[in-house]
Structure 1
């Protein structure tokens, strides 16, 4: 389930017709996952290039998941820097 407050933003993004924008979908879940995949689909429909597959971790991430989160953030920062240079 996507946080209800996020839905209007995602709907607005789809109408803006972006060009040369990058983004990422990431989050955590407690019961069942899937929101990050739905967010990624919305970003793709908004013509936002995703840096990779959505990152989704279980409620409280363990050490390995924290490492994945860190690496995801490093890649996102790298892509942002590349896009503005």
Structure 2
């Protein structure tokens, strides 16, 4: 796992947007990879764009369990700081 992917995983796991307990280390692997792929394809991304993408990824994956939230934008800022 590359550095960015690992850092994204740590941020997402710390956030634990679905509030899974107990949280397995690989619980959000697919979502982390989707976020990383999105970052790789979009060099000049804003935290707002990334926040929207994070909301979309989790909403699509966990319909009914995830509610789009402003917190996604805070998470996006944290992720962008690791780039």
Could you state the TM-score of these two structures normalised by the residue count of structure 2?
A: 0.31
Query: Greater Rg, structure 1 or structure 2?
Result: 1
Q: TM-score, normalised by structure 1?
A: 0.30
Higher relative contact order (CA 8 A, sep 6+): 2
Task: Write 1 or 2 for the structure with the bigger share of strand.
Answer: 1
